[in-house]
Amino acid sequence: MKEHIIIRTVSRMLIPFIQLFSLYVIAHGDISPGGGFQGGVILASSIILYVIAFGMEEGEKRVSEKMRAVLNSTGLFIYAGIGVLCLVAGGAYLEYGTLPLGTPQHASHLGIYGIEIGVGITVSSIMMTIFFETARHEDDEDD
């Protein structure tokens, strides 16, 4: 699809807004519909739109394989890590209220923020990984 100038121009204009919207969805999961999962999926779809418009090689330049491999586990690590921090702070696993961040209500709010970000990172990166690995590469041999 590299030769379609309309698709390339439109996606170049749309992608920043899609990514901004995905960050908005992750950040406002506490007061409006959405959250880490939905925001992560939207972030991944913006990268997939980029790959469809500009080709697999350009996409690999933006989100390299190594970066995806790191991000895949970073999000889950953040989630589980916040759980362990709660244990260290003296509460139960994932009992955010015990984190030493002000009142229990505030600490719980921040803890939920943290895990939403973790979920967002893992979901977006995994969705990108599945797309990159599933879609046919141009240098694949025909079989």
Under the rule (CB under 8 A), what is the footprint of other proteins? 25, 29-35, 37-38, 41-42, 44-45, 48, 72-73, 75-76, 79-80, 83, 94, 96-97, 105-109, 112, 115-116, 118-119, 122-123, 125-127, 129-131, 133-137, 140
Q: Is there a contact between 28 and 42 (Cβ–Cβ < 8 Å)?
A: no
Report the residue number, 8 or 113, with the smaller CB distance to other proteins. 113
Burial class (CB in 10 A: 0-12, 13-18, 19+), 128: buried
In the complex, least distance from residue 105 CB atom to other proteins, rounded to whole angstroms: 4
**Cα separation, 77 vs 68, whole angstroms:** 14
What is the smallest separation between the CB atom of 6 and other proteins, expressed in angstroms? 19
- With contact defined as beta carbons under 8 Å apart, do 129 and 46 qualify? no
- Of 122, 109, 83, which Cα lies nearest the Cα of 31? 109
Q: Which is nearer to other proteins, 89 or 112 (CB)?
A: 112
Cα distances from 2 to residues 29, 57, 63, 134, in angstroms, run 36, 11, 18, 19
Work out how close the CB of 88 gets to other proteins at its nearest, in angstroms, rounded to a whole number. 17
What tokens were used for 28?
Answer: 């406002």
Nearer to other proteins, 9 or 130 (CB): 130
CB of 9 to other proteins, least distance (A): 20
| CB-nearer residue toward other proteins: 8 or 91 | 91
